Amino acid sequence: MKLQEGPPESWRLRLYTIIFEADTRAGRAFDLALVGLIVASVIVVMLDSIASVRARHGTVLTTLEWMFTLLFTAEYIARLSCVRHPLRYARSPYGIIDLIAVLPTYLAFLVPGLQALIDVRVLRLLRLFRILKLGAYVAEFGMLGRALAASRRKILVFMFFVMMVVTIMGTLMYVVEGPDNGFTSIPVSVYWAITTMTTVGFGDITPKTDLGRVIASAMMLLGWGTLAVPTGIVSAEFTAQRMGRAPTTRTCHECLSEGHLPSARFCRNCGARLPAWQSDEGLWKPEGEDRAEPS
Amino acid sequence: MKLQEGPPESWRLRLYTIIFEADTRAGRAFDLALVGLIVASVIVVMLDSIASVRARHGTVLTTLEWMFTLLFTAEYIARLSCVRHPLRYARSPYGIIDLIAVLPTYLAFLVPGLQALIDVRVLRLLRLFRILKLGAYVAEFGMLGRALAASRRKILVFMFFVMMVVTIMGTLMYVVEGPDNGFTSIPVSVYWAITTMTTVGFGDITPKTDLGRVIASAMMLLGWGTLAVPTGIVSAEFTAQRMGRAPTTRTCHECLSEGHLPSARFCRNCGARLPAWQSDEGLWKPEGEDRAEPS
Amino acid sequence: MKLQEGPPESWRLRLYTIIFEADTRAGRAFDLALVGLIVASVIVVMLDSIASVRARHGTVLTTLEWMFTLLFTAEYIARLSCVRHPLRYARSPYGIIDLIAVLPTYLAFLVPGLQALIDVRVLRLLRLFRILKLGAYVAEFGMLGRALAASRRKILVFMFFVMMVVTIMGTLMYVVEGPDNGFTSIPVSVYWAITTMTTVGFGDITPKTDLGRVIASAMMLLGWGTLAVPTGIVSAEFTAQRMGRAPTTRTCHECLSEGHLPSARFCRNCGARLPAWQSDEGLWKPEGEDRAEPS
Amino acid sequence: MKLQEGPPESWRLRLYTIIFEADTRAGRAFDLALVGLIVASVIVVMLDSIASVRARHGTVLTTLEWMFTLLFTAEYIARLSCVRHPLRYARSPYGIIDLIAVLPTYLAFLVPGLQALIDVRVLRLLRLFRILKLGAYVAEFGMLGRALAASRRKILVFMFFVMMVVTIMGTLMYVVEGPDNGFTSIPVSVYWAITTMTTVGFGDITPKTDLGRVIASAMMLLGWGTLAVPTGIVSAEFTAQRMGRAPTTRTCHECLSEGHLPSARFCRNCGARLPAWQSDEGLWKPEGEDRAEPS
């Protein structure tokens, strides 16, 4: 994911190998030290936010924070200086995360309190997968991501409906309960509707009128049951993936209908013979039970 | 979904094309402007409900609300006037939604406070699917709906049992805890039972007695585990749909393979022609994505 | 489910036909009237529990309650008198429900307040399925029940583990937080643990110490993720049922190994040929996709 | 699971048979008595924690606790003395649980209050499965465990992401809401983020600012929908297991059908012999229910 270094400027190459590659001993040591520093800096920020701890160790913690920030800034500059196209790295996802990881401390000069956002550094831990060669985990991560991506349209449709329902229900409760009962405005009522439909139920706002409670009951049952939908969508996708059924965009050349099963031999729509199915990973070979076909 | 215009009264036809069709540039622009207006009017109503905002910009907001209402009323009248059968449109789902979208502002003369129900206008956003030609999304929406419809009986049976359980459990808690502990009446106790079984748990009413807490614990475990049932029902239906197993036991007479899609005309296994599929609602007519018909 | 009437005592037979059978017009009318009375009596008890309503209409409601109770008592006696074996009916599930439906009003003489338990009458609505000939719904109900029964062992094992976890976690929180923070005893802490693991989260008791909050966080993540287990169990069972895969206890006659797939032709353990699979409903015919076998 | 006794020292052998084996009448009686004592001791500790009960029966309860502890200590010593390798037993899972079951009462001398941890004894009830010969339940337990183990990588990846999200979201809310609104430090905010994403929603801390409520709404919808992921993972694994699809891509060399169980020796489709299955942990050895081995 990083850019290859071209001309043999040896200090740059050596730096690149240490920072970006993890095959040499120095590279590996660097990566592990980096992970340790990231975790340590996040813990320092967390401790600094606890009033009692800050009262006792404030100076130490602030010093440590600056130390971490300077180290990470130096590392960032080192990264930029040893790749061939610094701008391309700076715009890549990892590059942006690395930048966001150092910015908050500097921004805190302008807006005190933003310092806590240093915790965004934890995103840098995403590189853990690559560093520790957690290959199998990366593969699982990829499979998860692909399955979710395959059902993204269904999920978006579902979210659209949820937003519509909470808006209408929230407005209804605002009209029924009114500001005296805690529903001070429509946005607040929509916030309440979300806490209710997602079954979180903080309880900071609760319906007091009878009609309000009836509507709330209906919403709770609806939200409770509605959770079944995204779960069902995701389960179906994971199950299909697990059983060897990739999302088929298999098309019939005659009538252009889509969605034929991987194991189908004839088009269900026009009867024409379907060509063998090609997928991203080459010629798809059916796996699982439904290909129990002797010659 | 809208009615076709018959005789060539050109202003009517032109109006119809702009309002109902989205193929011409004018039609498309109209639709996008409409969506923008709907979203804007909903936001205006939301802002107007926040006391601090109303105090400062109340007049502007009220003016904007009337403007939107007049625009939508004019649009509604335009729709009615350019279709062949106005009454049929007024009674269609989209027609009813369009009417409900303009009524609240007028009803607010009679019942102040109902104005907020203008937010029901968001239902008009359902036409977004058609407008932006989100064909694939419409298909997904259709598939979701069909899968849910296929399991509707199981869901209804489940809901019946849930209502029975919350009624009995709520009554039991009313007897055990009593009005002094917040369970002021049986309906209120049923409301509490629903908050508990759906795991929302507002906390506005909580059991105080030991026996009450024991019963509550049993209800929580029951509700928590019971969520598995509708989720399982929906998951099973989605999974079956995803694996190509439509809710049918349609059989090929030649090779006796089963599970062919309702819209399939040829057997995917041997290529033989399938007889037309008969379902509970008469001869099934395919709709949606799997109706990939050649010329 | 009811006992057949033997000798032709015509009034008994006529009464039996009206009460227990739903094929004649009188029988059907009786059943519908019965359902109406059950629902009405439950509503009356609910209204009577609302203090404001009782203050205004208390006498009317109490009169109605007694009327309903007398009617149901008369009906119960009628049932007993027109069946051949009254004791057998009284001990059957429906018989017990019918008895519990009339008892509370009488018990209320001894223990005032029990009157509310009249709501248990809603259990009588279970006969709705039979009365209104909701055959398809009864079938769905049966399928749901069978699928759940098939996975009962897994569910029991799961519940056993949940009870162990909430007991240990509850005790741990009692030791960590202590009575001053609301965790007044171990049973109360177990009650809190259940509200937390089931994600209900009333909030009547919350951890205040840091260690307590850490343990609570772990419990919440555990409970949230653990919900996946019963859902997965039930989903798997429903999906298998939906895809035509009944719980197989198919046994190989040679080596006695079990659990062979319905479509398997050879024993996976010893290679012997498996006999065709017999199920409760006769010779099992594979359905679905995996039986795409031409002659 | 226990070590076999070697040389014939008859009292040792007799003791071993009683304590560890459950086939003789004495052995079975011992086991049932043991279970009864465990449950009784847990109940005693629970009762002792209720202030009102302790006030009235404190002495009796404390006496009973000591009696139980002495009994269990004697039993532990008996176990150690009649196995061949005491140290190996002491280090086994059951051995450690047995030790933890007696320690708290002694530790309570040093740290009063730890006595409640006696409830950890409930872990000893895990032996219930073996004692009552709940073979089928043990098998189910084994299947559950194997299915979960098979998806452990996906679950770990998921947990990693959840921890990252709650850390970042918690920090964000800390910055937005601040200590005045209850978010007193980043760890506390992370605790709140967990209560929200897991939909527990205690309500001890709630967002008060508008921006905070918007972020909270996003988190709730995210957490609510995210529950679908582990549920989907587990459902997919259970479904695959239920449909006979073990986590394997084992292929038959003759007919190329796939998905054979790890323990299968013959292809279920053509009867050919399958090669031994190699997995990540070396040559896979079957265990549990699907190891139906003929002579």
Q: Are D182 and D173 in contact (CB under 8 A)?
A: no
Asked if residue C263 is part of any domain, the answer here is: no
pLDDT digits (tens, 9 = 90+) for B87-128: 888 888 777 777 777 777 777 667 766 666 666 666 666 655
Q: Measured between CA atoms, how close is D62 to chain A, in angstroms?
A: 39
**Segment (H or E) for B283:** strand B282-283
Closest partner residue to A140 (CB to CB) among D154, D200, D245 is D154
Asked if residue C210 is part of any domain, the answer here is: yes
Asked if residue B196 is part of any domain, the answer here is: yes
Asked if residue A145 is part of any domain, the answer here is: no
Within 8 A of A270 by CB-CB distance, chain B residues are 265-266, 294
Q: How confident is the model at residue B215 (pLDDT cuts 50, 70, 90)?
A: very high
In chain B, the residue whose alpha carbon lies closest to the alpha carbon of A207 is: B204
C202/C115 same-domain check:
no
In chain D, the residue whose alpha carbon lies closest to the alpha carbon of B204 is: D203
8-state DSSP, C206: -
Closest partner residue to D235 (CB to CB) among B199, B201, B235 is B235
D187/D209 same-domain check:
yes
Within 8 A of C162 by CB-CB distance, chain B residues are 221
B163/B234 same-domain check:
yes
Q: Measured between CA atoms, how close is C49 to chain A, in angstroms?
A: 14
Closest partner residue to C289 (CB to CB) among B179, B202, B244 is B244
Q: Inform me whether the pLDDT recorded for D247 exceeds 50.
A: no
Phi then psi dihedrals of residue C266, to 5 deg: -125, 150
A31/A130 same-domain check:
yes
Please report the pLDDT score of residue A159 as a whole number: 81
Please report the pLDDT score of residue A282 as a whole number: 40
Please report the pLDDT score of residue B294 as a whole number: 34
**Residue contact A119–D168, C-beta within 8 A:** yes
Domain count, chain A: 2
Q: Measured between CA atoms, how close is C81 to chain A, in angstroms?
A: 42
Please report the pLDDT score of residue D113 as a whole number: 62
Report percent pLDDT > 70 for chain B.
64
Q: Inform me whether the pLDDT recorded for B210 exceeds 70.
A: yes
8-state DSSP, C2: P
Within 8 A of A172 by CB-CB distance, chain B residues are 117
**Residue contact A46–D184, C-beta within 8 A:** no
B128/B155 same-domain check:
no
User: Could you give the CA distance from residue C189 to residue C201 in angstroms, rounded to a whole number?
Assistant: 13
In chain D, the residue whose alpha carbon lies closest to the alpha carbon of A50 is: D185
A68/A100 same-domain check:
yes
Q: Inform me whether the pLDDT recorded for B217 exceeds 90.
A: yes
Instruction: Find how far residue B241's CA is from the centre of its chain.
Output: 21
Within 8 A of C210 by CB-CB distance, chain D residues are 187
In chain A, the residue whose alpha carbon lies closest to the alpha carbon of D177 is: A113
Q: Tokens representing A294?
A: 């002797």
Among the candidates A73, A104, A136, a domain finishes at A136
Give residues 90 to 119 of A whose Cβ lies within 8 Å of D: 113-114, 116-117, 119
Among the candidates B201, B225, B244, a domain finishes at B244
Q: How confident is the model at residue B288 (pLDDT cuts 50, 70, 90)?
A: very low
Asked if residue B118 is part of any domain, the answer here is: yes
Q: Measured between CA atoms, how close is B213 to chain A, in angstroms?
A: 19
- Going from the C-alpha of C64 to that of each of B167, C28, C42, C67, C71, the distances in angstroms are 20, 24, 11, 5, 10
Within 8 A of D203 by CB-CB distance, chain A residues are 201-204
B125/B219 same-domain check:
no
D167/D122 same-domain check:
no
DSSP 3-state helix, strand, coil percentages of chain C (rounded to 5)? 70, 0, 30
Read off the pTM: 0.75
Chain B contact present for A27, CB below 8 A: no
- Going from the C-alpha of D229 to that of each of A111, A260, D168, the distances in angstroms are 38, 27, 20
Within 8 A of C167 by CB-CB distance, chain D residues are 42, 119, 122
Highest mean pLDDT: which range of A137-151, B262-276, C9-23, C184-198: C184-198
Domain of B173: which CATH number?
1.10.287.70
Q: What is the mean pLDDT of chain B?
A: 73
Q: Which residues of C173-210 are buried (b: 16+ CB within 10 A; e: fewer)?
A: bbbbbbeebbbbbbbbbbbbbbbbbbbbbbbbbbbeee
Q: Are D273 and C267 in contact (CB under 8 A)?
A: no
Please report the pLDDT score of residue B271 as a whole number: 64
In chain B, the residue whose alpha carbon lies closest to the alpha carbon of C144 is: B154
Give the number of C-alpha atoms closer than 13 A to the C-alpha of residue B37, restricted to the C-beta side: 20
Q: Inform me whether the pLDDT recorded for A279 exceeds 60.
A: no
Chain C contact present for B244, CB below 8 A: yes
Chain B contact present for C274, CB below 8 A: no
Least confident of A87-96, B16-25, D164-173: B16-25
pLDDT digits (tens, 9 = 90+) for D27-76: 778 877 887 888 888 888 888 888 888 888 888 888 888 888 888 888 88
Please report the pLDDT score of residue B207 as a whole number: 93
Please report the pLDDT score of residue C94 as a whole number: 73
Q: Inform me whether the pLDDT recorded for C209 exceeds 60.
A: yes
Q: Inform me whether the pLDDT recorded for C171 exceeds 80.
A: yes
Phi then psi dihedrals of residue A207, to 5 deg: -70, 140
User: Could you give the CA distance from residue D142 to residue D145 in angstroms, rounded to a whole number?
Assistant: 5
Please report the pLDDT score of residue C70 as a whole number: 84
Give residues 170 to 229 of D whose Cβ lies within 8 Å of A: 171-172, 174-175, 178-179, 184-187, 190, 196, 199-203, 206, 210, 213-214, 216-217, 220-221, 223-225, 227-229
Q: How confident is the model at residue D236 (pLDDT cuts 50, 70, 90)?
A: confident
Domain of B94: which CATH number?
1.20.120.350
pLDDT digits (tens, 9 = 90+) for A160-178: 888 888 888 888 888 888 8
D131/D163 same-domain check:
no
Q: Inform me whether the pLDDT recorded for B268 exceeds 60.
A: no
Q: Inform me whether the pLDDT recorded for B285 exceeds 50.
A: no
Q: Inform me whether the pLDDT recorded for C192 exceeds 90.
A: yes
Asked if residue C233 is part of any domain, the answer here is: yes
Q: Measured between CA atoms, how close is D162 to chain C, in angstroms?
A: 9
pLDDT digits (tens, 9 = 90+) for A184-240: 888 899 999 999 988 888 989 999 998 999 999 999 988 877 777 778 777 777 777
Select from B188, B190, B194, B231 the residue whose CB has the most chain C CBs within 10 Å, as the one to mutate to test that interface.
B231
Q: Inform me whether the pLDDT recorded for B193 exceeds 90.
A: yes
pLDDT digits (tens, 9 = 90+) for A106-130: 776 677 666 666 666 666 666 555 5
Q: Inform me whether the pLDDT recorded for C236 exceeds 70.
A: yes
Query: What domain range includes position B194?
Result: 150-244
Q: How confident is the model at residue C291 (pLDDT cuts 50, 70, 90)?
A: very low
Give residues 247 to 266 of B whose Cβ lies within 8 Å of C: 249, 255-259
Q: What separation, in Å, do the N-terminal and C-terminal C-alpha atoms of chain C show?
A: 45
Q: How confident is the model at residue D116 (pLDDT cuts 50, 70, 90)?
A: low
Q: Are C22 and C28 in contact (CB under 8 A)?
A: yes
Please report the pLDDT score of residue C1 as a whole number: 42
Within 8 A of A231 by CB-CB distance, chain C residues are 231
Closest partner residue to D164 (CB to CB) among A122, A141, A201 is A122
Q: Measured between CA atoms, how close is A290 to chain C, in angstroms?
A: 5
Q: Are C84 and C4 in contact (CB under 8 A)?
A: yes
In chain D, the residue whose alpha carbon lies closest to the alpha carbon of A159 is: D221
Please report the pLDDT score of residue B279 as a whole number: 42
Please report the pLDDT score of residue C188 as a whole number: 92
Within 8 A of A202 by CB-CB distance, chain C residues are 203
Among the candidates B244, B266, B287, a domain finishes at B244
User: Could you give the CA distance from residue B221 to residue C161 in angstroms, rounded to a whole number?
Assistant: 13
Q: Tokens representing B270?
A: 């041997």
Select from A184, A185, A289 the residue whose CB has the most chain B CBs within 10 Å, as the one to mutate to test that interface.
A185
B235/B160 same-domain check:
yes
Report percent pLDDT > 90 for chain D.
7
B31/B117 same-domain check:
yes
Asked if residue B292 is part of any domain, the answer here is: no
Asked if residue A86 is part of any domain, the answer here is: yes
Please report the pLDDT score of residue D267 as a whole number: 64
D162/D204 same-domain check:
yes
Highest mean pLDDT: which range of B96-110, C220-234, D182-196, D237-251: D182-196
Chain D contact present for B235, CB below 8 A: yes
**Residue contact C187–D260, C-beta within 8 A:** no
